[in-house]
Amino acid sequence: MRQSIIYLSLILFLSSCGSVSLTTKPGVEISRDATLTIAANEDQTGTVGQLNHLLLEKGFNIMSYSTAKKAIKKKHEISGSGSTVKVDSESYSVSQLNSVYALELNYRWSYDALSGYRYLNFSARIIDLNTKELVMSASFRGDRSVQRVLETFTTKLSQEIRT
């Protein structure tokens, strides 16, 4: 009986860690030689920097987000109470990146002193910016280190994209 409880506990623990699932659109070939831009800014988890490194290591042609974005500059005038304020702003759209593919990320993380940054969920999508089609989707739910999820994600992506 005690052994059964230990096995059950181990199975529950291992299943709570989660796994990364990845799927690509049938019939679509993603090329490693085409430029891929991670359409996100760096945050304290270090996700973008780690992904840049891991993808470069696997032979992908990465373009930095700041280099790839094209700004849409807007000028606004706000009037009221006898005064006018002029405001310059910039906005970006993923579809305006000077790249072939955009990698969009969405994740929720936690931090503790013992294990560092950990993903509670993570999703990634690759968009073909020429056709505007979703060509790859990946997801993770569980509780695993940022580094481990990103390593698993880039390994699975590399296996799917052979060209």
- The CATH number of whichever domain residue 153 belongs to comes to 3.30.160
Average of per-residue pLDDT across 135-141: 95
- Name the residue with higher pLDDT: 75 or 133: 133
- Tokens 């974005």, located at residue: 69
Confidence at residue 52, expressed as pLDDT on a 0 to 100 scale: 95
Residues of 89-100 as b/e, b for ≥16 C-beta within 10 angstroms? eeeeebeebebb
Instruction: Give CA angle at 87 (84, 88), nearest 5°.
Output: 150
Domain membership flag for residue 3 = no
Distance CA 98, CA 83 (A): 39
pLDDT reading at 92 higher than 90: no
pLDDT reading at 17 higher than 80: no
- Range ranked top by mean pLDDT from 7-11, 17-21, 39-43, 104-108: 104-108
pLDDT reading at 96 higher than 80: no
User: Per-residue confidence at 161, pLDDT binned at 50, 70, 90?
Assistant: confident
Structural domain including 56 reads 20-160
Confidence at residue 68, expressed as pLDDT on a 0 to 100 scale: 78
Confidence at residue 133, expressed as pLDDT on a 0 to 100 scale: 93
- Tokens 């006898």, located at residue: 82
Domains held by the chain: number: 1
Domain membership flag for residue 13 = no
Domain membership flag for residue 93 = yes
